[in-house]
């Protein structure tokens, strides 16, 4: 019964796994899939697992040369694509994929194309791909990944078999993080709270001292908010923003290393580096948004913790390392105050998504939370 295979790594997606495993063993897979699920729900791993199941001679043993190369991303008949444009797939990318689908496979019996962020297909790139999506050559499987079905162009979504991934429950996520990198439950919960429940991001978070420090600073600010004056709050917001920018240096160091490595390998032909440099720019701005998002997540989880403690359920606290401060806050902040503070957090999220300057959004959030939790307790 303990027969291990390539599906074992997928935790919390039993339905998806049994469906895909069954269709791959029974030979009933279709030519185009759309995997829909929240970040961290395992779409990418499932796509690779399906590729292994279809290409490995033992149906996805997870250990043979085919399986290991698929997992490393170096098997020639499994290609992974992501948008190369500023925010969208380029028509040329779609053409490249179409051209390749019409050639015989390199090694295996099938060609598998994994297209990440399928919501990033604009109508032009999507149009180029429609015919291939609708009736690809027999030996082609296209697997498109997206976080939400609604954000994918209907022309694309309607031509794919949709496979929905469930969000991973917190307890499963904590167990998985312990298994993958030996993280203790307290650290795991705090990291998951900061990263919005996305396991790979939570693991990244734990391995970044600067990002953990930014969280620590915010927890301190939340504790001290009731006794801070306006200047203190502005100063704290400025500091938090600086601390969010600090991890970008870690990203830059890694990017520079990658670029150096590529220059060694590709020679100094500027044209060949452009796509990498573009990707690095996108990565940096995504990372910065993620950092701001982390601050908002931490504030939101701290408020939830206060509410849980006040409601007599301290076992639900995610930020265990700040449990004492949270208990202290819970003893003097009322429900309606907490609700108003939680609104301030949602408002901050909304502002950031509308491209309000992060500095302003964080300042406003801190002032609003301060006002909410220090206003006189109501007479309920």
Partner 1 sequence: MRLSIARGELLDSLNVVTKALSSRTTLPILSGILISAVGDSVILQSTDLEISIKHTIGAGVEESGSVVMPGRLLAEVVRSLPEAAVHLETSSFDQVKVTCGTSSFVLRSLSPDDFPKFPEVSPGRKMVIPTATLTSLVRRVSRAVSRDEARPILTGILMVIEGTVLRVVATDSYRLAIAEAELPEPVEERIEVVVPGKALEEIPKLAGGAETVSMGIADNQIIFEFGSSVYVTRRIEGAFPNYRQLVPQDGETKVTVSRADLEGAAKRVSLLAQHNAPLRVKVSDSTLTLSAQTQDVGEASEDLMVATEGEPIEIAFNHAFLVDGLASSDEENLAFVASSPLKPGVFRSTTGEGFTYLIMPVRP
Pick from 54, 67, 157, 329: which binds Zn ion (CB under 5 A)? 67
Pick from 242, 261, 375, 377: which binds partner 1 (CB under 8 A)? 261
Q: Which helix (H) or strand (E) holds 142?
A: strand 140-146
Pick from 47, 56, 126, 160: which binds Zn ion (CB under 5 A)? 56
**Closest Cα partner for 10 from 74, 53, 66, 64?**
53
- The vertex-129 CA angle with 127 and 131, nearest 5°, equals 90
Pick from 87, 213, 253, 266: which binds partner 1 (CB under 8 A)? 266
- CA distance linking residue 305 with residue 248, whole number of Å: 29
Smallest separation, CB 61 to partner 1 (Å) = 17
Residues in contact with Zn ion, counted by CB under 5 A, come to a total of 4
Applying CB under 8 A, does 105 fall inside the site for partner 1?
yes
Smallest separation, CB 267 to partner 1 (Å) = 4
266/313 with CB nearer partner 1: 266
| 142 touches 133 (CB < 8 A) | yes
Helix 199-206 / helix 209-224 crossing angle, nearest 10 deg? 90
Applying CB under 8 A, does 270 fall inside the site for partner 1?
no
Which one of Zn ion, partner 1, none interacts with residue 289, CB within 5 to 8 A by kind? none
* Location of structure tokens 């959004």: 361
Smallest separation, CB 192 to partner 1 (Å) = 31
| Cα–Cα distance list, 143 to 10, 56, 95, 123 (Å) | 17, 17, 17, 19
Applying CB under 8 A, does 103 fall inside the site for partner 1?
yes
Q: What is the separation of C-alpha 116 from the centre of its chain, rounded to a whole number of angstroms?
A: 12
Applying CB under 5 A, does 110 fall inside the site for Zn ion?
no
Pick from 30, 76, 242, 257: which binds partner 1 (CB under 8 A)? 76
331 φ/ψ sector (left φ>0, alpha ψ -120 to 50, else beta): alpha
Which one of Zn ion, partner 1, none interacts with residue 379, CB within 5 to 8 A by kind? none
Smallest separation, CB 36 to partner 1 (Å) = 24
Smallest separation, CB 104 to partner 1 (Å) = 4
Which one of Zn ion, partner 1, none interacts with residue 343, CB within 5 to 8 A by kind? none
Residue 355, both tokens? 């491209």
| 308 touches 316 (CB < 8 A) | yes
- Subset of 175-214 contacting partner 1 (CB under 8 A): none
Q: What are phi and psi of 111, to 5 degrees?
A: -120, 130
The terminus-to-terminus CA distance of the chain in angstroms comes to: 59
Smallest separation, CB 105 to Zn ion (Å) = 16
Pick from 22, 95, 164, 350: which binds partner 1 (CB under 8 A)? 95
- CA distance linking residue 96 with residue 120, whole number of Å: 17
Which one of partner 1, Zn ion, none interacts with residue 61, CB within 5 to 8 A by kind? Zn ion
| 265 touches 276 (CB < 8 A) | no
x-marked contacts with partner 1 along 123-162 as a string, rule CB under 8 A: --------------x-x-----------------------
Residue 280, both tokens? 């690095």
- Size of the chain in residues: 380
> 137 pairs with which residues across the strands?
none
Applying CB under 5 A, the residues found at the interface with Zn ion are 56, 61, 64, 67
Applying CB under 8 A, the residues found at the interface with partner 1 are 65, 69, 72-74, 76, 79-81, 95, 98-100, 102-107, 137, 139, 261-262, 264-267, 269, 271-272, 275-276
């Amino acid at each position: 019964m303990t027969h291990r295979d390539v599906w074992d790594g997928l935790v919390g997606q039993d339905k998806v796994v049994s469906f895909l495993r069954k269709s791959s063993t029974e030979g009933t897979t279709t030519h185009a899939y759309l995997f829909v699920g929240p970040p961290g729900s395992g779409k990418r791993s499932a796509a690779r697992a399906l590729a292994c199941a279809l290409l490995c001679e033992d149906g996805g043993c997870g250990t043979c040369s085919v399986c290991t190369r698929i997992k490393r991303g170096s098997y020639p008949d499994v290609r992974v694509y992501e948008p190369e444009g500023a925010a969208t797939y380029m028509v040329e990318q779609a053409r490249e994929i179409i051209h390749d689908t019409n050639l015989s496979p390199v090694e295996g019996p099938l060609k598998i194309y994994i297209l990440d962020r399928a919501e990033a297909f604009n109508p032009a790139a999507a149009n180029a791909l429609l015919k291939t999506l609708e009736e690809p050559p027999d030996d082609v499987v296209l697997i498109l990944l997206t976080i939400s079905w609604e954000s994918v162009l209907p022309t694309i979504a309607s031509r794919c078999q949709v496979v929905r991934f469930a969000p991973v429950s917190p307890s499963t996520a904590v167990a998985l993080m312990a298994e993958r990198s030996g993280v203790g439950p307290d650290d795991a919960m705090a990291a998951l709270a900061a990263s919005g429940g996305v396991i790979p991001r939570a693991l990244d978070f734990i391995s970044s001292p600067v990002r953990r420090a930014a969280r620590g600073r915010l927890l301190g600010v939340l504790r001290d908010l009731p006794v801070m004056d306006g200047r203190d709050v502005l100063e704290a917001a400025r500091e938090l923003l600086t601390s969010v920018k600090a991890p970008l240096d870690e990203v830059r160091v890694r990017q520079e290393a990658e670029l150096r490595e590529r220059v060694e390998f590709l020679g100094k032909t500027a044209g060949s580096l452009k796509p990498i440099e573009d990707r690095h720019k996108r990565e940096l701005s995504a990372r910065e948004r993620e950092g701001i998002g982390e601050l908002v997540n931490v504030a939101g989880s701290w408020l939830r913790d206060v509410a849980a403690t006040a409601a007599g359920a301290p076992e639900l606290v995610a930020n265990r390392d700040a449990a004492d401060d949270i208990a202290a806050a819970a003893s003097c902040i009322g429900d309606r105050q907490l609700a108003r503070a939680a609104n301030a957090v949602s408002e901050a999220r909304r502002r950031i998504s509308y491209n309000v300057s992060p500095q302003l959004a964080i300042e406003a959030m801190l002032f609003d939370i301060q006002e909410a939790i220090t206003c006189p307790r109501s007479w309920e």
